[in-house]
């Protein structure tokens, strides 16, 4: 089961081009949704305005080498290691979900486009990566949802309380969970596999089609915001800001963070 391509079995009931077209549509939905988010919310304008203010208001100018160094630090610490999370549990859950989703999505694309039929069997490592990525998403996502969320861990709200901000994580968990369940049922020859596959397609469409209303697009903005913050700290722009009124001797990362952060 873990070494077979679940998407290749679909060739018996639909042409491979159908599933390939679906994947392309999901990619286009993400691109269009992100552009809409940028225009509608003014995210790009906000970032570039901040960037210009930072460059003009800094106490010193940064050289090209410093900017490259800050960009590398942003990529390694803020993006690859999710350094913005001070809570180690939350960081681990985020990393599991992030790397799991990347592995899961890449393996899906490889199986759908390069090994679409039983006549083109995928190397065992590819389906294994798909299962591993999906299980990582489930481990990190459900851990976050039931035990780490701020309104659950710190405020005592029910883990089943849902608001619009939860659209991304819930649609992600639904899509991946249903995908794994479908592959499991299909491998066992269960009659319910077809129905679960339909739900999987619906959940996946919601995940990628709801970009303008969910936090999906944040993954594209956060690296830029983290880089701008590092540049502002380095050129002295942030040092010109007033210290917090309650703790004037402390500022920035030295402030005490809430328990649930």
pTM of this structure: 0.78
C-alpha–C-alpha distance, residues 257 and 261, integer Å = 7
Residue 37 lies in a domain: yes
Q: How many CB atoms lie within 10 A of CB 94?
A: 18
Does residue 252 form part of some domain?
A: no
Selection from 3, 11, 1, 2 nearest residue 118 by Cα: 11
Q: For residue 25, is it within any domain? A: yes
* CATH number of the domain that residue 136 is part of: 1.20.950
Q: Give dist(CA 28, CA 18) in Å, integer.
A: 15
Tell me whether residue 2 is in a domain. no
Tokens representing residue 139 in the block: 């481990």
- Is 113 domain-assigned? yes
Residue 242 resides in a domain: no
Report the number of distinct structural domains present in the chain.
Answer: 1
Whether 230 contacts 57, CB under 8 Å? no
d(Cα 44, Cα 39) in Å, to the nearest integer?
Answer: 8
Structural domain range at position 45: 8-61+87-216
| Per-residue pLDDT tens listing for the chain (261 residues) | 789 999 999 998 999 999 999 999 999 999 888 888 777 766 666 666 666 666 666 666 766 787 788 778 777 877 777 777 777 888 899 999 999 999 999 999 999 999 999 999 999 999 999 999 999 999 999 999 888 876 555 556 666 777 777 888 999 999 999 999 999 999 999 989 999 999 999 999 999 998 887 776 666 667 777 777 777 777 766 544 444 444 444 434 333 444 443
């Amino acid at each position: 089961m873990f070494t077979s391509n679940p998407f290749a079995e679909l060739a018996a009931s639909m042409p491979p081009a159908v599933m390939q077209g679906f994947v392309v549509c999901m990619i286009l939905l993400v691109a269009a949704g992100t552009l809409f988010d940028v225009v509608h919310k003014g995210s790009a304008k906000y970032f570039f305005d901040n960037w210009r203010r930072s460059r003009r208001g800094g106490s010193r100018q940064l050289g090209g080498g410093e900017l490259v160094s800050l960009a590398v630090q942003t990529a390694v610490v803020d993006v690859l290691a999710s350094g913005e999370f001070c809570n180690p549990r939350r960081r681990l859950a985020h990393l599991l979900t992030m790397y799991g989703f990347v592995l899961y999505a890449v393996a899906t694309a490889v199986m759908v486009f390069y090994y679409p039929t039983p006549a083109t069997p995928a190397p065992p490592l590819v389906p294994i990566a798909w299962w591993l990525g999906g299980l990582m998403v489930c481990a990190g996502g459900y851990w976050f949802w039931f035990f780490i969320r701020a309104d659950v861990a710190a405020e005592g709200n029910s883990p089943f309380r849902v608001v619009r901000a939860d659209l991304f994580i819930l649609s992600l968990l639904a899509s991946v969970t249903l995908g794994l369940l479908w592959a499991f049922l299909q491998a066992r020859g269960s009659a319910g596999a077809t129905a679960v596959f339909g739900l999987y397609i619906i959940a996946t469409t919601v995940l990628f089609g709801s970009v303008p209303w969910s936090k999906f697009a944040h993954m594209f903005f956060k690296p830029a915001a983290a880089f701008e913050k590092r540049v502002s700290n380095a050129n002295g722009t942030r040092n010109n800001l007033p210290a917090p009124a309650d703790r004037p001797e402390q500022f920035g990362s030295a402030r005490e963070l809430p328990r649930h952060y």
